[in-house]
Amino acid sequence: MVFDGHSDLLYDVTRGRLAGEKRVLERRHLRNLEAGGVEGLALALWVSAQDFWKNVPEAKGHRERTDIMLLCMKAELAECPWLELVRTAGEAERAKAAGKKYAFLTVEGMDAIGDDLSGIDRYADLGVRLGMLTWNGENLLATGAGGDPYSGLTELGRRAVRRMGERSIVMDVSHLNDGGFWDVMKTAEGPVVASHSNCRALCDVRRNLTDDQLRAIRDSGGVVGVNVHHAFVHADRERQTAEMLARHAAHMAEVMGVEHVACGFDFCEYFGPGNEGAEGLENCSQIHNLFYWLEKLGMNEKEREMVARENFLRILR
């Protein structure tokens, strides 16, 4: 069984429900989740998809987009009693024991709070457990991987990191630039995670992490979740495969220790062309292919269980 530490399914839920659909998760995704052995997910509040939101007149800004997504999530959960929103690993285990799947709520970019850090309290009150300061762009807190790689956190961003720690929201650095990453590591107390990033040593793109960054996350007690997105697996299209992603996980285990390697798949084939997963990991029904290759690379059963679910859930106690 697998815990996926990063999922954009709330985006698809919102898109579907605004088009008049119901039970989007059940109709479009449940079969693949079950085939892939997914017992739980971290569902992201991600509201930076400009092409989508520009066609929603009432979504004037990131705060309004977030409110709309939360309303869609609430309606969806009411129609899908097989999925329970949880706040802790203990609650997740109880939901699993009751025969349900479970979901943690996360934030992928905090543009919605503007310059008002009370927005972090609002996230915490909603049950958010993981948070990214920004997506790929720049906001009042930080700069993402798509911007200037050297600019660090703003003073407001450093205050946001501390507030998140006070409210038990784990810092997620997957979309930060390098300067912001190192500022987070100086500021955060407790584990830091990169929920959906791979290794820059194997695929040299900004969204992946250097070995020094991997070791810094290890030293914080955090985890890194491997990402299926083809462009983060290898520069050569022919090597963007499940086997190559397993090699990323093996490299992480070598650099950090296997107890710091996790899953954050970021499946988003439903976004359309350009968002394909690596070959053999085109959707979540194929998760078993990653673990097939991890076994081939010498990872034993206990280690594979740690990567599949135990390591990430340890962070969410």
* pLDDT above 90 (res 50): no
Output the pLDDT for position 51: 84
**pLDDT classification of 175: cutoffs 50, 70, 90:** very high
- Packing angle, helices 287-296 and 242-256, rounded to 10: 60
Three-state DSSP state, 213: helix
**pLDDT classification of 54: cutoffs 50, 70, 90:** confident
What are the pLDDT digits (tens) for 180-199? 999 999 999 999 999 999 99
Domains along the chain?
Answer: 2-315 (3.20.20.140)
Q: Dihedrals φ, ψ of 148, to 5°?
A: -55, 120
Output the pLDDT for position 289: 98
What are the respective helix, strand and coil percentages of the chain, to the nearest 5? 50, 15, 35
Question: What pTM, to 2 d.p., does this model score?
Answer: 0.96
Three-state DSSP state, 166: helix
Share of the chain above pLDDT 90, in %: 96
What ranges in the chain are assigned the alpha helix state H?
Answer: 9-18, 24, 30-35, 50-53, 62-79, 89-97, 118-126, 155-166, 178-187, 211-220, 242-256, 287-296, 301-305, 311-315
Q: How far is the C-alpha of 205 from the C-alpha of 194, rounded, in Å?
A: 15
268 contacts 8 by C-beta, under 8 angstroms:
yes
For residues 82-95, average pLDDT: 98
What are the pLDDT digits (tens) for 255-298? 999 999 999 999 999 998 999 999 999 999 999 999 999 999 99
Burial class (CB in 10 A: 0-12, 13-18, 19+), 78: exposed
